[in-house]
A and B are shown apart, each in its own frame.
Chain A
Amino acid sequence: MKKGHIIGLGIIGVAIMIIITSIGDASTYESFSTARMLASNGDEKAIHVVGQLKKNDLGEVIGLEVHEDKTSFTFLMVDNDGEEQQVYYNEPVPADFSRSEQVVVIGSFKNEKMFVADKILMKCPSKYQETDVKEASL
C-alpha cells in the first residue's frame, strides 16, 4: 500500500468520526411530552423545545415567578402541541422576555415536574426590522 493511500484512509477515518460525532451530539427539536419520555428513559441530553409563554385572555404573561435573589426564575410555557410546562432558568429574566412571540428552550427535564433550560432563544416582534410606524412618532 502506498503512503498516499494510508493518508487518504486516515482522512476518511477522521471525516467519518466527525460525521458520527456531529450526528451524535446534534440536539433535536422535541415537544414536552417526548422530552419527558426521553428523560424518563435516562437520556439526559439537552433538547430544543419550541413554544410560547402562557398568556391569559388579555394577552398578559402569567406564571412568571422571579426568585428572591433575582438571579433565576420559573415560567409557564406552552409547546407547539399545546402542552403546558413549568420551566426553570438559572439566569435573570431577560428584559424583553414577556414580549417574546416565540421562545426556544434548550435543556432537559430534571424531574417529572420541572424542565430546566440551559439556554433560551427568543423571537421578539420586529427585532431587526421595524415595519409599522409607531403612532408616537407623529
Chain B
Amino acid sequence: MMNTFVGNLGHFMAIIAFVTAIITAFSYYNYIKASELEKASWRRFSRVIFYIHSIASVGIAIALFEIIYNHRFEYFYAYSHSSKALPVHYMISSFWEGQEGAFILWIFWNVVLGLILIHTNKFWEGPVMVVFALVQAFLVSMILGVVIGDLKIGSSPFILLRDISEAPIFQINPDFIPKDGTGLNPLLQNIWMVIHPPTLFLGYASTLVPFAFLMGGLAMKRYSEWVRPALPWAIFSAMILGMGIIMGAYWAYVTLNFGGYWNWDPVENAVYVPWLIMVAAIHTMITYKKSSTALKTSIVLVIASFILVLYATFLVRSGVLGDSSVHSFTDLGLSGQLLIYMLFFLAIAIFLSIKEWKHIPTSEKEASVYSREFWIFIGATTLGLMAFQVILPTSIPVYNAIVEGLGGISNMAPPADQVGFYTKFQLWFAVALALLTGVGQYFWWNKMDKQELKDTLVTPYIISMIVAAIIITLGKVYDISYIVVVLAGAFTIVANGSILIKLIKAKTFKLSGGSLAHIGLGMVLIGVMFSSGYSDTISINMSGMTYKKDWEDDLNKQNVLLWINKPLQMKDYTVIYRGRYKKVKGVPDYVKADLLQSLDEVNAAVALNDIEAKGKTYASKGDTVSIVLEENSYFKVEYYQEDELKFTLFPMSQPNPTMGLISSPDSKRYLSKDLYTHVSAINDYEDPEWKEDQFENAEPGGQFFMNDFVTYFEGTELISDPQELKDLSLKEGDVAIRAKLSIMDNDVKRLIEPMFLIRDNQVGKVAAIDSDLGIKVEIDNILPEEGKFVFKYNTYQKDYVVMKASVKPFINVLWLGTIIMLFGFGTAIFRRYDEFTKMRNKGLE
C-alpha cells in the first residue's frame, strides 16, 4: 500500500517552517523597533512563532526518518539511500546521505541554537533572532520543493519515486512499490559516519551565532558590545568544526583507501578554510577584549568565517566541482538558490559594515613589537594567509565556470599533486604558527621588554632544543625541513607547557584553554610530520616480475600480489594471504567464505560445515546463519617475523554494483605506530571463467597433477547420509561414493571430495569446487576392470589479493594532540561564557 500521508505531512511541515521563519524575522524586527510598552507583546508573539517553526522543523526530520525507518520505498529518498538490510544506526546515516537530509540536519541545529539563544540573552534576543530567522528561511527553502511556473524552489525529500523515475513500470502500475531500496553507500556504513555529519553541521550552524551577534551589533550601533556574547560561541564553533574535521579525517583513515587521513580534496578544504578563519577571529576578539584593538579585523574575520561556510556549501553542493573532486554531490538544481543565499548575506554584511565603518572604534596607538596585540595580530594574519592559500586553488573550478559563463574558454585545472602542493605552504605556515604561539603566550601573561623577553625565553628554548634533539635522534629524523618542524612543535609544547604549569600552580586552571590548545597544535604538527612524512610503504613489489619498460623503473610499485598461502617477503615482515572471510552474527571470529553457502534471503547462509571459533562450536553443518552485511568480504592476511606469527589483519572489500570495489583498510595499532593494510584488487568470486575440461585417470592411493598441484587420491568412501548428496537425495538401492583427494598447498592441506551416484542404470555427479585453489573436480567415470577413476577437472586461478601496506609512525601523537586541542577549546568556552553570564546578570547586556 502506498503511503502518501507521511510525505504530504513532511512537505506541509516544510512549508510551515518556511512561512514561520519569515514571520519570525518580521516580528522580531518589529520587536526591536517597538516602543517599550509594546515590546513585551511583540516578544511573546515572536517567540511563539519561532516555537511553531521549531516544531515544524523537527516535524520535517521526524517525517523523513519515519519514511526511512519503515522502509517506505515508494519515496525516492528511502529508495535511493536505504535498504532493508540496514541496521538502525546506519539508517541514521542514510538520513543525511542525501543533500536534502543534510539541509534538514542544518535546519535542526539552527533551531536548537536559536532556542538556546532566546533563553540565554536579554538585550540581544531581537537582533540575533532576526538574522537567525532569515538564515532559516533560506535553508528551509532548499527543501521546499515548490514549483511556480518554470521556477523550482528547493528539492523536497518527500518526493515519490514514481514522480521522478522514468521506469516503464510506473506507466503500467502507478502504485508499484519497489521491494527494496538501493542501499546506503558502503563507505558511509561506518560508525564515524553516523556522528561525523551531525558534528560538522553543528559546526556549520554555529558559525551563524557570532555572525548574528555582529550583525545585531552593527545594526543596533553597539559596535563593540557584541564581542562578549559572541566570543564563547565563536570558540564553540571553532571547537565543533575542528571536531568535525578530525572525525572526517579519522573516518577517511579507517575507511577510505587513499592511505591517509587528509588528501587536500576540495571537500576537505572547504571546511578547513572557515575553521582557520574562525580560529583567527577568536584570537583578534580576545585581543580586543583585553586592549580594544583589532575590532575591525575581528568584524572582517567573523563575516568571512560565516560567508566561507556558505561558500563551502556552494562549492560542494552546486556541482561546480564536477570532475575535480572524488566526492562532490550532484547538482540538484539548487546552485542558483545557494548562490543567492550566500550573496544575500554577503551583501547585508558588507552594507552594514561600510555604513558603520567610520563609527567603529579603533585604537590610535600603534602596537609595540613587545606587546601581545602585535604577536596575536601576526598569528591571525598567518591563519588568514593559510586560508587564502587553500581557498585560491580550490576555487579553480569556479573561475572556469565564471569564464565559461562569460563565453570564454578556460582550461585551468587544480594542481595535479594536491598533497605536495598544499603541504609545501601549509607546513611552513604551521611552523610559523607554532613559534608564534610559543612567544605569544609569554607576552600574553606578562608585560615584556627586550631584556625580559630574552630571559624568559631562554629556559623553554633550551628545554625544547633538548626535547627536539631526543625526538630527532630516536625518530631518526634526518630531513632538514622535518627537523625544523620538530623544533617548532617541541618549542610550542614546552613554552605553552611551562605556562600551563604556572596556571595550575596558581589554581587558575580555567584560564588554561589557550595553552592547552597550543600544546595540542604542537603535537598535531609533530604527529602529522611523522605519520605523513615518514609513512613507509612496505608493500614494495619485489617479485621481480618481467613486465618492464625502461621508464617503469622510476615508478614505485606500491602494491603486491599475494597468492593464497604463498609467503611473500615485505621489508621486515613475511606476509601470507589466507583466504576470504565473512562476519557471521554471534561468532567472535571471522568465518571462511567457503564454509558458507548464501541463500536467496538477504544476509542468510547455510553452514556447509561446523563453524568453530575459539574452541567452541557456534553452528553445525546445515544450520542457517546470518551474515553481517553479506557483500563485505574480509581478507585474512598474516604477518610473520622470524617465522613467528605476529598478528593477523582483515582488511575489508566489497565489490559494489554501483561504485566498484569498495575497500576499507585494517590496521595493527601499536602505541608508537600503525601498520596499515589495504586491499586494492580482488579475484572475481561471482562467476569464475573455468578453463576447458581436462581428464586424469587414477587409482586409489595413487597421485597425479592437477593445475600444477600434486594431488593424492587417498581413497573412496560409501555415502550413507542422504543429506550429503544435496538435490539428488539417496534412495533405496542407490550406491553413492565419495572420492577423497588431497592437495598440499604450501603449508595447507586441502581436501576435495567429488561424489558419484549410481541409480538403476543412470549416474549422478556432484562436483567439488575448491575456490582457494581454483579447481573444480568431478568423478567422470569409474573403470571397475582397471580399478581406476576418471576425474574431470577444470581450472581457474588460485585465489589472490592485491594489497598495499604502509607503516605510519606516531600517528597516535596526532590523535592525542587533536584531543588536547579540543579540550583547550572547551576550557576556553567555559571561561568566556562565565564572563558573559556575569555581565548579563548585572543587567549590562
Partner-B contacts on A (CB < 8 A): 2-4, 7, 11, 14-15, 18-19, 21-22, 25-30, 45-48, 50, 67-72, 88, 90-97, 99, 102, 104, 106-107, 110-111, 114, 116, 118-119, 121, 123-124, 126-135, 137-138
Chain B residues near A71 (CB-CB < 8 A): 541, 557, 559-561, 680-681, 802
Could you show 26 A-B contacts with beta carbons less than 8 Å apart? A7-B377, A11-B385, A18-B392, A19-B392, A25-B415, A27-B413, A27-B415, A28-B412, A29-B411, A45-B416, A46-B417, A68-B546, A68-B547, A70-B681, A71-B559, A72-B557, A90-B552, A91-B559, A91-B680, A92-B680, A94-B661, A95-B655, A95-B656, A97-B660, A99-B660, A131-B164
On whether A133 and B169 interact (CB within 8 A), knowing A68-B547, A96-B659, A106-B416, the answer reads: yes
- On whether A48 and B165 interact (CB within 8 A), knowing A69-B561, A70-B800, the answer reads no
Which residue, A4, A30, A46, A71, has most C-beta atoms of chain B within 10 A? Answer: A71
CA distance A135 to B166 in the complex (A): 12
A92 touches B681 (CB 8 A): yes
Instruction: Identify which of B135-143, B176-184, B499-507, B824-832 touches chain A.
Output: B176-184
Are B681 and A26 neighbours in the complex by a CB distance under 8 Å?
no
Min CB–CB distance B637 → chain A (angstroms): 16
B79 / chain A contacts, CB cutoff of 8 Å: 130, 133
Q: Which residues of chain A are near B655, meaning CB under 8 Å?
A: 95
Which of A92, A99, A121 has the most chain B CB within a 10 Å cutoff? A92
With A26-B396, A119-B416, A132-B167 already in contact, 15 other A-B pairs whose C-beta atoms are closer than 8 Å: A21-B425, A26-B393, A26-B412, A29-B413, A45-B416, A67-B547, A68-B545, A71-B561, A72-B547, A106-B416, A124-B658, A124-B660, A128-B329, A132-B165, A133-B178
CB-CB contacts of B175-211 with A at 8 A, as 1s and 0s?
0001110100100000000000000000000000000
User: What residues of A have a CB within 8 angstroms of the CB of B680 in the complex?
Assistant: 71, 91-92
- B179 contact from A27, A28, A131, A137, Cβ within 8 A: A137
For residue A69, which residues in chain B have a CB less than 8 angstroms away from its CB?
541, 543, 545, 547, 557, 561
Q: Is B357 an interface residue (CB 8 A)?
A: no
Q: Could you list which residues of chain B lie within 8 angstroms of chain A, going by C-beta atoms? A: 79-80, 161, 164-167, 169, 178-180, 182, 185, 323, 326, 329-330, 366, 369, 377-378, 381, 385, 388-389, 392-393, 396, 411-417, 421, 425, 541, 543, 545-547, 549, 551-552, 555-561, 655-656, 658-661, 680-681, 800, 802
A92 touches B559 (CB 8 A): yes
* Contact residues in A for B659 (Cβ distance below 8 Å): 96, 124, 127
A127 to chain B, nearest CB (A): 6
Supposing A71-B802, A94-B660, A128-B330 touch, asked if A22 and B392 sit within 8 A by C-beta, the answer is yes
User: Complex: how many Å from CA A2 to CA B597?
Assistant: 80
Query: Which A residues lie within 8 Å of B169 (CB)?
Result: 133, 135, 138
Contacts of B392 in A (CB 8 A): 18-19, 22
Q: Are A123 and B681 in contact (CB under 8 A)?
A: no
A138 CA to B323 CA in the complex, in Å?
Answer: 34
B555 with A90: CB separation less than 8 A: yes
From residue B9, how far is it (CB to closest CB) to chain A in Å? 25
Q: B369 contacts which chain A residues (CB < 8 A)? A: 3
Most chain A CB within 10 A, of B164, B167, B416, is at B416
List chain A residues, Cβ under 8 A from B552: 88, 90
Instruction: Report whether A116 and B551 are in contact in the complex, using a CB–CB cutoff of 8 Å.
Output: yes
Partner of B413, one of A7, A47, A70, A130: A47
Contacts of A104 in B (CB 8 A): 323
CA distance A91 to B258 in the complex (A): 12
CB <8 Å contact, A70 and B561: yes
Closest to B322 in A: A123
CB distance from A102 to the nearest CB of B (A): 7
- Cα A90 to Cα B549 with chains together (Å): 12
Q: Is A130's CB under 8 angstroms from B412's CB?
A: no
Q: Name which residue of chain A comes closest to B185, CB basis.
A: A128
Please tell me if the beta carbons of A15 and B385 are within 8 angstroms of each other in the complex.
yes
- For A137, the closest partner residue in chain B by CB is B178
Distance A3 CA – B323 CA, assembled complex (angstroms)? 45
Q: What distance in Å separates the Cβ of B183 from its nearest Cβ neighbour in chain A?
A: 9
